[in-house]
């Protein structure tokens, strides 16, 4: 994969557009953070990217090829999806959960084979969660659940991972774990699109940030340029600013605080 380009995306519910003309692009190994307050259209935008909702206008292309008319199977090999935290009705083991990432490679009337088992083993090793493989999904922590779903995405072997609020509902340590995991996925060459409502999150992981308000872009670009007093205050509806701190290692960190 070379480049993902989304242009003029519009979509919504019952003929009412919630996302109103969004553009962005993503190169291999890049992380795009979609930032915005609750109700700014992040989840709706993600549903459109994943084709759960039809677009009312706009297009998405990968390497110059229109992807919106691809088959489900082809699409699932480009995009994988990690939903928001939820408790499933039926709980599978971590290994079984990861195995479902192989669904596009296992025929309808077939069961996973050697290659699929090898892929699951490798994914669990990559994320260092092999010890959890026989644990049931509902019996592990929130952070571990996220890792199980990421393992599933890795098994899917698609180059773009779409994560809906990967760090919400997680405690501080698990949020850091998630950031480190995202950074290592980026190292492996995965492109990642994720959403968050935490304003300083993009500074830790993002190559690009798309700041949303009412379904429209407030700003878009590298976090250093796109996020400042004006754009953040406008997007979140509270006066706030970005502050710089020097940490013990001598590098500069950015935090957001209300004014």
Partner 1 sequence: MNNKHIPLYERKNYFRFLLVGLVAASALSILFSFTVGYYDLPASRIFELFGQIGTAQPTSDYIVLMRVRLPRILSAFLIGAALSVSGASYQGMFKNPLVSPDILGVASGAGFGASLAIFLGMSSVMVQTMAFIAGLGAAFLSFLISSRVKYGQTVSLILAGTMIGALCMAATTMLKYLADTSDTLPAITFWLMGSLVKVDMKSLLFSLVPMAVGFVLLFLMRWRLNVLTLGDEEAQSLGVNPRRTRFMAIVGATLLSSAAVCLGGLIGWVGLMIPHITRGLVGPQYKKTFPVCILLGGCFLLLVDDLSRGVSALEIPIGVLTAFVGAPFFIWLILRRKGEQV
Confirm or reject binding of residue 103 to partner 1 (CB under 8 A): yes
Confirm or reject binding of residue 70 to partner 1 (CB under 8 A): no
92 or 203, CB closer to partner 1?
92
3-class secondary structure, 170: coil
Confirm or reject binding of residue 113 to partner 1 (CB under 8 A): no
Residue 241 phi, psi dihedral angles, 5° rounding? -145, 165
- Structure token pair of residue 5: 């380009």
Confirm or reject binding of residue 1 to partner 1 (CB under 8 A): no
Task: Please report, in angstroms and rounded to a whole number, the separation of the first and last CA atoms in the chain.
Answer: 43
98 or 218, CB closer to partner 1?
98
- Is-contact 33 194, C-beta < 8 A? yes
For residue 3, how many C-alpha atoms fall within 13 Å in the half-sphere facing its CB? 6
* Residue from the set 28, 39, 83, 221 that interacts with partner 1 by CB under 8 A: 83
Confirm or reject binding of residue 156 to partner 1 (CB under 8 A): yes
- Is-contact 192 186, C-beta < 8 A? yes
Residue 18 CB contacts under 8 Å (≥ 6 apart), including other chains: 11, 12, 41, 44, 215
Q: What sign has the CA pseudo-torsion 71, 24, 41, 204?
A: positive
Confirm or reject binding of residue 114 to partner 1 (CB under 8 A): no
Q: What is the largest CA-CA distance in the chain?
A: 59
* Residue from the set 17, 96, 169, 241 that interacts with partner 1 by CB under 8 A: 96
Confirm or reject binding of residue 248 to partner 1 (CB under 8 A): no
110 or 248, CB closer to partner 1?
110
CA distance 190 to 27: 10
CB under 8 A: which stretch of 59-67, 89-97, 177-185, 244-252 binds partner 1? 89-97
Residue with tokens 């596009």: 104
CA distance 182 to 106: 27
Confirm or reject binding of residue 157 to partner 1 (CB under 8 A): no
* Residue from the set 88, 189, 224, 239 that interacts with partner 1 by CB under 8 A: 88
Confirm or reject binding of residue 81 to partner 1 (CB under 8 A): yes
Confirm or reject binding of residue 100 to partner 1 (CB under 8 A): yes
CB under 8 A: which stretch of 25-33, 103-111, 218-226, 228-236 binds partner 1? 103-111
Task: Report the phi/psi class of residue 29: left, alpha or beta, with left for phi > 0 and alpha for psi in -120 to 50.
Answer: left
# residues contacting partner 1 (CB under 8 A) = 37
Confirm or reject binding of residue 244 to partner 1 (CB under 8 A): no
Report the interface residues with partner 1, using CB under 8 A: 47, 50-52, 72-73, 75-77, 79-81, 83, 87-93, 96, 100-101, 103-104, 106, 108-112, 134-136, 138, 152, 156
């Amino acid at each position: 994969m070379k480049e993902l380009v989304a242009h003029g995306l519009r979509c919504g519910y019952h003929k009412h557009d919630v996302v109103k003309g969004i553009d962005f692009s993503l190169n291999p190994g890049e992380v795009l953070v979609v930032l915005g307050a609750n109700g700014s259209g992040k989840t709706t935008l993600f549903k459109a990217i994943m084709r759960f909702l039809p677009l009312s206008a706009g297009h998405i292309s990968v390497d110059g090829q229109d992807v919106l008319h691809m088959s489900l199977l082809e699409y699932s090999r480009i995009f994988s999806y990690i939903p928001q935290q939820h408790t499933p009705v039926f709980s599978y083991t971590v290994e079984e959960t990861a195995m479902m990432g192989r669904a596009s490679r296992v025929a309808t009337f077939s069961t996973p084979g050697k290659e699929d088992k090898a892929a699951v083993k490798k994914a669990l090793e990559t994320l260092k969660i092999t010890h959890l493989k026989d644990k049931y999904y509902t019996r592990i922590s929130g952070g571990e659940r996220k890792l199980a779903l990421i393992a599933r995405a890795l098994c899917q072997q698609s180059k773009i991972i779409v994560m809906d609020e990967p760090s919400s509902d997680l405690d501080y340590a698990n949020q850091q774990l998630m950031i480190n995991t995202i950074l290592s996925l980026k190292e492996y060459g995965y492109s990642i699109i994720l959403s968050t409502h935490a304003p300083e999150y993009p500074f830790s992981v993002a190559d690009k940030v798309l700041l949303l308000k009412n379904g429209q872009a407030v700003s878009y670009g590298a976090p250093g340029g796109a996020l400042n007093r004006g754009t953040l205050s406008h997007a979140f509806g509270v006066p706030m600013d970005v502050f710089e701190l020097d940490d013990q290692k001598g590098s500069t960190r950015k935090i957001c605080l209300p004014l």
